[in-house]
Amino acid sequence: MRPTYLEIDLPQLKQNLENIRAHVAPSKVLVVLKANAYGHGVDGVAPFIAPFADYIGVAIAEEGIHLRKLGITTPILIMGGTLLEQLPEFLEYDLTLAASSLDLLSAAEQLAGSAGKRIKSHLKIDTGMERIGVREYEAETLIEKSLACSHVDVEGIFTHFANSETIDDSLPSNAREVKASLQLERFQEVLSIFEKRSVPHPRIRHTANSGATLRMPESYFDMVRPGVLFYGVYPGRDIERTIEVKPALKWKSKVVFSKLTLPGRGVSYGSLWQAEEQTRIVTVPCGYADGYFRRMTNHPRVLINGKSYPQVGRICMDQFMVNVGGDDIKVGDEVTLLGNGIIPEELADWAGTNEYEVMTNISVRVPRVFMGAVQ
């Protein structure tokens, strides 16, 4: 195995889920496993966590199909946009459709009717994200169509918050239109359409992503959808930490080369860093092809044998260098890139991005090692 790898603490993921479930009870919990389980490795995470989840959410049909081929039987909601030609896969693999348009819902009804089968669906209402879904002021037609469906099981209805991790009053004035409380009001107005017709609303109403799960109990309805929160990362630096979760991921490597570098010698492409005095430079076999962003150059710190050292010189595709000063660091010594005190937020700051991109961009060529897989 490569000396650069991820260590995934599966029992910690389960503990995170249990803490979330206890906080939102009696609401159900949909665990989001899109983007290779936020970089954690879906092949190891999904079989372990699926028995404890009420629902699973992914972004695209291919991710749902992959889960079914892993043997996952838990209901799977495809939360992203779907093309009409992809609908047969929903029948074949028992996937739940996010009905984001009247055309998509109508096509699903026709296909299921022709096949003599049923497709499960959740109506997607756009209350302010402006991504996919029928806008709340146009939702009545979609609802009327859903009530007329005989081959589509419309079991759910949902929306997605654009700013759930942000307190309404702290939003800039031009963003007040998409504050979470207003989106919630719009969603409730859509639900009232069912009441006006004296028909029951879909049995699974859900709006709460990670931010709303932490700070908007009024948004829980029948199910919540924790994404980054499930993986032990909070979706904002200042958000209320009403649920205790801890990161389950550590990114480790080993020193593959150690050398003394003379004063004035440049390190790596472009010679962006030069030694001011004789110092020991060690090489770590990880680079931007592994997801250790090139744009972090000369900013990160890593832990070697538990001590913090600065990364120096331009980060290469497959390697980067670390200045360990006068310490006698040897080939084979352990390096921690993430974990043990180095948090995703730090890598995000060094890269000028967010924690989500840090985790989901860790390459598939980095092996995942799953700890505590025995249930």
Taking CA atoms, 75 is separated from 61, 105, 153, in Å, by 13, 19, 13
Phi-psi label, residue 37: left if phi above 0, alpha if psi -120 to 50, beta otherwise: left
**Single-letter amino acid code for the residue at 95:** L
Q: Which of 299, 257, 264 is nearest to 278 (CA)?
A: 264
Instruction: Clarify whether 269 is annotated catalytic.
Output: yes
The catalytic position among 34, 124, 179, 252 is 34
Instruction: Clarify whether 259 is annotated catalytic.
Output: no
Q: What's the CA angle centered on 344, arms 315 and 364, to 5 degrees?
A: 65
Q: Which residue has the tokens 């031009």?
A: 174
Q: Which of 138, 137, 132 is nearest to 159 (CA)?
A: 132
The kind and range of the H/E element at 213 are helix 210-215
Phi-psi label, residue 20: left if phi above 0, alpha if psi -120 to 50, beta otherwise: alpha
Bond before 344 cis per omega within 30 degrees: no
The catalytic position among 137, 259, 269, 330 is 269
Instruction: Give, rounded to a whole angstrom, the gap between the first and last alpha carbons of the chain.
Output: 25
Catalytic residues: 34, 269
